[in-house]
Structure 1
Amino acid sequence: WRRGTNSIAVLGAPQVILYKFGHPSDAWWGVLPYWAGLLILSAPVGLTVYYFLNDHTPPKSTPLAAFLLSLAFISSCVWTDLIASELVSGLEFLGVSLGVSRSIIGLTILAWGNSIGDFVADTALARAGNPRMGAAGGFGGPLF
C-alpha cells in the first residue's frame, strides 16, 4: 500500500476507462473535454486518499476502501482488455502484411499462444511427480 501511488491511480483509472468506453475529446456543454472533467472530478478523491490516509496501512472496510477496490478491479479488467486487443490487432496486421488470412492466424498463432501457459504448467506438474494432475490439467484447462 502506497498512498501516493493510489492517489495517482485514482486520477488515472477514470482516464483509462474513458479511453476504452468513451470519446475523450468530446466535451460537456461544448466547452470542457470529458478527460478534463474527469480529472477535475477525480482530483478531490485523489487528494483525499493522499492527505487523509496512512502511508503504511490500507483503509479498513470503509466506503473509500470499497471504492478503491472496485476502481482497481474495473481498471485492471480494462487494461487487460486493451492489451489483449492490441496484441490481436498486431498479430492481425502481421498476418495481413504477410498475406495470411485471419482464419489461419486465429487457428495457429492465437491458439498456440493461448495454450502455451497450460502446456508449461502441465509439463511442470508432470515432471514434479504429479502426472495425473498434469494430464487432468491438459484436458480440464481448455474446458474452463
Structure 2
Amino acid sequence: MAIINNVAYSWSMITLSSTALGIDEGSTTLEGVSAIKWSKKRKVESNYGMGGRPVSRGFGNITYTASITMDYATQQLLRSVYGSLLEIGEFDLIISFANPMAGEDWTTTTVTLKGCIFTEDCLESQQDDTNITHEFDLNPFDIQIGSGDTI
C-alpha cells in the first residue's frame, strides 16, 4: 500500500476517463460507477523430468479481464448517446488515482484498459432494490500499467 502524508489510496481518489465515451479526465459523467476490476494473468506450468520433479517452467498466453459496475442511470446515459451498450464499439478506459490533499509529492498512477467492448446490454433488479446496478464485463484487449505526471 502506498502511503503519502499518511494518506492511502482509496476509492475517492479514482477517476475514470475515456475520449471514446465522451468522458474527460475528472468528469462526473460516470459518477454512477460503484466498482471497477481488472486482472492480468499469465499461464505458467511446470515442466517435469526425471524423478517426477519440476525441471523448468513454461510460460503461456497472457489473458486480460476487467469489469465495471454501473447504476441504471449511468447505463441510461450511455444508451441515450449510443442506443445500446452493444453499439458503443471499442474504447479505452483510463483509471487514474490521484489525491490533491497529499501535497506536491503525489504521483498520479494510471491503468489503461485498452480496447474495451461491451458484450451485453441488460437489466437486473429485484424487489426492495434501492439502487439498480449491474456488473458488465469490459473484455479488454490489453491492460497498460504506468505512472503519470506528478501533481
Normalised to the residue count of structure 1, the TM-score between the two structures is: 0.19
Could you say which structure has the higher strand fraction?
Answer: 2
Q: Which has the larger radius of gyration?
A: 1
More relative contact order, 1 or 2 (CA 8 Å, 6+ apart):
2
Normalised to the residue count of structure 2, the TM-score between the two structures is: 0.19
Could you say which structure has the higher helix fraction?
Answer: 1
